[in-house]
Chains A and B, each alone.
Chain A
Amino acid sequence: MASLNDYLLVSGLLFATGLAGVVLRRNIIIVFMCLELMLSAANLTLVAFSRFHPAANGLPDYNGQMLVFFVITVAAAEVAVGLAIIVALYRARQTIHTDELTSLKG
Chain B
Amino acid sequence: MPSYLFWLFSTVMLIGGAAVIAFRNPVASALSVVTCFVGLAGLFIGLSAFFVGVIQILVYTGAVMVLFLFIIMLLDLKDEEKRAKSLAPVAAGLGLVVAFFVQLIGILSRSPNLTAPALDNPVLAAAAAGFPQNSKIAISLNQGKLPDVHLIGHTLFTQYNLPLQILGVLLLVATIGVVVLSKRQAD
**A96/B108 in contact, CB under 8 A:** no
Chain A residues lying within 8 Å of B108, measured Cβ to Cβ, are 5, 8-9
Q: Which of B13, B89, B167, B181 makes the CB contact (< 8 A) with A26?
A: B89
Chain B residues lying within 8 Å of A72, measured Cβ to Cβ, are 52, 55-56, 59-60
Q: Which of A2, A15, A40 has its CB near the most chain B CB atoms (within 10 A)?
A: A2
**A90/B64 in contact, CB under 8 A:** no
Given A72-B55, A79-B68, verify A52-B114 contact (CB < 8 Å).
Answer: yes
**B13/A14 in contact, CB under 8 A:** yes
B139 within 8 A of A: no
Chain B residues lying within 8 Å of A23, measured Cβ to Cβ, are 89, 92-93, 96
Given A13-B14, A25-B21, verify A65-B101 contact (CB < 8 Å).
Answer: no
Q: Complex: how many Å from CA A63 to CA B123?
A: 19
Q: Which of A1-37 contact B (CB under 8 A)?
A: 1-10, 12-21, 23-27, 29-30, 32-34, 36-37
Chain A residues lying within 8 Å of B184, measured Cβ to Cβ, are 91
Chain A residues lying within 8 Å of B186, measured Cβ to Cβ, are none
Q: B101: shortest Cβ distance to chain A, in Å?
A: 6
**B177/A36 in contact, CB under 8 A:** no
**B104/A37 in contact, CB under 8 A:** no
CB 8 Å contact bits of B32-67 with A (1 = contact, 0 = none): 010011001001101111011001100110011001
Q: Which of A3, A7, A27 makes the CB contact (< 8 A) with B77?
A: A27
Size of the A side of the interface (Cβ < 8 Å), in residues, is 73
B133 within 8 A of A: no
Q: B109: shortest Cβ distance to chain A, in Å?
A: 9
* Interface, chain B (partner A; CB < 8 A): 1-3, 6-7, 10, 13-14, 17-18, 20-21, 26, 29-30, 33, 36-37, 40, 43-44, 46-49, 51-52, 55-56, 59-60, 63-64, 67-68, 71-72, 74-75, 77, 80, 83, 89-90, 92-94, 96-97, 100-101, 104-105, 108, 111, 113-117, 119, 123-124, 126-127, 130, 146, 151-152, 155-156, 159-160, 163, 167, 170-171, 174-175, 177-178, 181-182, 184
* 7 sampled A-B residue pairs with Cβ under 8 A: A2-B46, A20-B96, A51-B116, A58-B123, A60-B48, A70-B163, A90-B75
